[in-house]
A and B are shown apart, each in its own frame.
Chain A
Amino acid sequence: MAPSLDAKIPEGPIEDKWDAHKFSVKLVNPNNKRKFDIIVVGTGLAGGAAAATLGGLGYNVKVFTFHDSPRRAHSIAAQGGINAAKNYHNDGDSVYRLFYDTVKGGDYRSREANVYRLAQVSNNIIDQCTAQGVPFAREYGGLLDNRSFGGAQVSRTFYARGQTGQQLLLGAYQALAEQIAKGTVTLYNRSEMLDVVTVDGRAAGIVVRDLLTGEVSSHSAHAVVLATGGYSNVFFLSTNAMACNATAIWRAHRQGALFANPCYTQIHPTCIPSSDEYQSKLTLMSESLRNDGRIWVPAKAHDPRPPSEIPEAERDYFLERKYPSFGNLVPRDVASRNAKAMIDQEKGVGPLGNGVYLDFSASVDRLGRNVVEERYGNLFEMYDRITGEDPYGSPMRIYPAPHYTMGGLWVDYNLETTIPGLYCLGEANFSDHGANRLGASALMQGLADGYFVLPQTIGDGIAPLLGTKPVDTHHEAFRLAEAAVRDRYAGYLAIGGTRSADWFHRELGKIMWDHCGMERNRPGLEKAISEIPALYEEFKKDLRVLGNDASVNQALERAGRVDDFFQLGLLMCEDALHREESCGGHFRSEHQTPEGEAERDDDRFAYVGAWEHTGEMAPGRLHREDLVFENVKLTQRSYK
């Protein structure tokens, strides 16, 4: 039996837990806040919001980003929107319904108390962002507009054209800029965090590498906050930005932070299918497209006709057929898997037969081209730019792509990892989305953690440290960590092999996508578990990185990130293998209902699987946090 974890969830009815907790946590007196140093790594929605808020409260904050500007974090690319339980549209929404939908959407693998808190603060987020000047879409009366999104039957998604992520991130970035100008926050840009340093079992600081000079340095603080995003790039091709990586959380994991549910990855159903083998990333188009677009394939396989020549009777609107009540708005995993099933049946469309149609002609007829253009104009333009095809004239082609990772560092109710003093926010932690995230909930979680949760809970951990100084960065632990980082990077340069880090990344990605992607099974995962270490050995022997360690060297940066992806990829496969059930984004083909739906095994797997690092490429040790559902009844998800 695996050792169990205590999430420190407050007692009491679920509606009162957060308020009770806020009252019971230790506080830091406003005058004492400046006596605490806090490091925040990452400047996306979670990190940017946290750093700005902590700075505003009076803490001394150092914030690190490997970008040139905090505003470039990948939160910026989110398109669709952000959920909140405002019920502005009087359609029956409530905090409880948002909570319920999120737990259900997560296939009952998330922690009730966290999700409820998320739903509670969702409304504050909209207030905060509006006050910051986020130009949310509005109705003619001047009030905020909403749209509906996959996995929900109410209209609760706030949006800013097709760039909600950018607008929300600008809000956080601007708040951060204000604090930087005030001097409460110090920005370290183009600085990549490469290790967490612990002293006496507590997070003491971090080691960073200056990406312009290669200089390795240490920074210490009373608490370290990681908000470094997800790890979809383990698949090489994903919708993540090129630089997104798992290094920060993986290095924290190696220092003792447990890694929870690494196999929970989300495949986004509406991406543009790849056009050739050089493709460096996949481009996502907002899922909101599914509100007005109808998904179909030709009813018979290998149909060579262009879409306009296929009569209605010979089209298979497969989501509407199989799920009459949710139709095209079923959750992402259901939509993705069904698209894959169609392509597996050779019904795929496009020159490579690798897509399904997303058709707007019915909406254009019903709403008029102007309305469709108003809602999706920029997405249509983007599609046209990338594919050279006009979506007003012929249906779009879409296919699923890795997009979001629900797994991440295990955190308790305070967002503290198993290393005291080390906190983890946003996509980098595992906490709120269970086995599957609903659309428009990522932005909500990042901002909830950053603006409203961490600033309240961090006091509980650091208040007892009042009067102590952060560990001196000349401490031996820092010196050793710095030396290890220098050796690691010098090591990549010294191999002198024949293949680039990108080549290895592509190969790793292929293994991960084939065996640990949208659908998994035991033989495939076992194959991956044997192939990854072999490829990793190859990586260590045959990597080629040119240049030096004393100036900008993008190939060297990538080598370090790919190294960590190898190790994480192996853990993902192990986790996927151990979880003998299907749930949300984790679909084991051995475990499905006769209709092909995910079949959970609540008796054996209603827990969070959190892995302890035991050594490089060594099998992890499993810890578990049993999930207790007191407010939501576990049912087989059904979107029929």
Chain B
Amino acid sequence: MATTLNRAPAEPVTRQRRNAPFPVELYRSAVGKKYVMALTGIALMGFVLAHMVGNLKMFLGPAAFNEYGEFLRELLVPILPHHVVLWIMRIGLIVAFALHIHAAYALTRMNHAARRTKYQSRRDYVAANYASRTMRWSGVIVGLFLIWHLFDLSWTGTGAAFYRGDPYTNVANSLSRIPVAIFYVVANIALGFHLFHGSWSLFQSMGWNNPRFNRWRRDFAIGFAALVVVGNVAFPIAVLAGVVSAD
């Protein structure tokens, strides 16, 4: 038979696989991984949006902002003990991040393996845009930024005066350093690109396709990414402009 590939076994691959529990089995497929990326992406989108909105309290002054931090720790108290809801949310976020990153890593490996020899001439992309082609880099930048951000404002501080329990002061102290402020802006622009492609792409991955709202999907992606970026970038600018300050 004239073909450079060996023909696959006649037995469909599917049958051999159906042993694991449903979520595991789904996750084994690339389409399933995209579902996971989309679902975790939605969770993380919810987080960045809430995080941005919550942080807007900064403009109401230190008392309001610190009170908001305290409120998060007291969620659903006294139904549940202190910190429990916050930890549930943290664990949820950690799991979402882990799955999002693992799926991205696995799919990237799969995609590299699917074309080991690249095109030798320059590609002329029509639909694929900067955001869609740099997802893994914008993702990595955001991920590294996140770790730094946690050290900077949650765990230890990164050189500027750091007071546990006084987030308002910590933000003002840290972001008043110009290089740090620039880093925040750059990282948020990367986040914006990531969100722009991701918040469109998730509709496709989730199979949410309806002629009635299809034309709004791109608009939603632009709006969402812009909202989060503008909100987040406002903080370092506000600090540098002296609107938010430690005094």
A and B touch in the complex (CB under 8 A): yes
Return chain B residues, CB-CB under 8 Å to A183.
10
Give CA–CA (A181, B4) in the complex, Å: 19
Would you call B10 and A189 a contact (CB within 8 A)? Answer: no
Closest chain B residue to A211, Cβ basis: B2
Contact status A213-B12, CB under 8 Å: no
Residue of B nearest to A184 (CB): B10
Q: Which of B2, B4, B10, B12 makes the CB contact (< 8 A) with A191? A: B2
B3 contacts partner chain A, Cβ-Cβ < 8 Å? yes
Report how far A183 CA is from B4 CA in the complex, Å: 20
Tell me whether chain B's interface is mostly helix, strand or loop, or mixed: loop
For A212, list chain B residues within 8 Å (CB): 2-4
Contacts of B4 in A (CB 8 A): 212
Chain B residues within an 8 Å CB radius of A68: 3
Q: How far, in angstroms, from A182 to B10 measured CA to CA in the complex? A: 6
The interface on chain A, measured as residues whose beta carbon lies within 8 A of the other chain's beta carbons, has a size of 15
- Could you give, for residues 164-192 of chain A, a 1 whenever the CB lies within 8 Å of some chain B CB and a 0 otherwise? 00000000000000001111001111110
- For the complex, give the distance between the alpha carbons of A211 and B1 in Å: 10
Cβ contact within 8 Å between A210 and B12: no
User: Is A210 in contact with B10, judged by CB distance below 8 angstroms?
Assistant: no
Give the CA-CA distance A76 to B1 in the complex, in Å: 23
Task: Name which residue of chain A comes closest to B4, CB basis.
Answer: A212
A345 to B4, CA, bound (A): 56
Note all chain A residues with C-beta closer than 8 A to B3.
68, 189-190, 212
Q: Which residue of B lies closest to A213 (CB)?
A: B2
**Which chain B residues border A211 with CB–CB below 8 Å?**
2
Q: Closest A-chain residue to B3, C-beta based?
A: A189
Checking A181, A182, A187 against B1 with a beta-carbon cut-off of 8 angstroms, the contacting residue is A187
A181 touches B2 (CB 8 A): no
A72 to chain B minimum Cβ distance, whole angstroms, is 14
Write the B1-36 contact mask toward A (1 if CB under 8 angstroms, else 0): 111100000101000000000000000000000000
| CB neighbors of B among A446-485 (8 A) | none
A189-B12 in contact (CB<8A): no
Taking the closest CB of chain B, its distance from the CB of A211, in whole angstroms, is 6
A187 to B3 CA separation, bound complex (whole angstroms): 11
**A208 nearest CB neighbor, chain B only:** B2
Most buried by A among B1, B2, B3, B12: B2
> In the complex the two chains form, what is the Cα distance from A181 to B11 in whole Å?
7
Chain B, residue nearest A552 (CB) = B2
Closest to B7 in A: A187
> Which residue in B2, B10, B12 is a CB contact (below 8 Å) of A190?
B2
23 contacts between A and B (CB under 8 A): A68-B3, A180-B10, A181-B10, A181-B12, A182-B10, A183-B10, A186-B1, A187-B1, A188-B1, A188-B2, A189-B1, A189-B2, A189-B3, A190-B2, A190-B3, A191-B1, A191-B2, A210-B2, A211-B2, A212-B2, A212-B3, A212-B4, A213-B2
Give the 8 A-B residue pairs with the shortest CB-CB distance, closest first.
A190-B2, A210-B2, A212-B2, A183-B10, A188-B1, A181-B10, A191-B2, A211-B2
Name B residues whose Cβ lies closer than 8 Å to a Cβ of A.
1-4, 10, 12
Known: A180-B10, A212-B4. 5 other contacts (CB 8 A): A188-B1, A189-B1, A189-B3, A190-B3, A212-B2
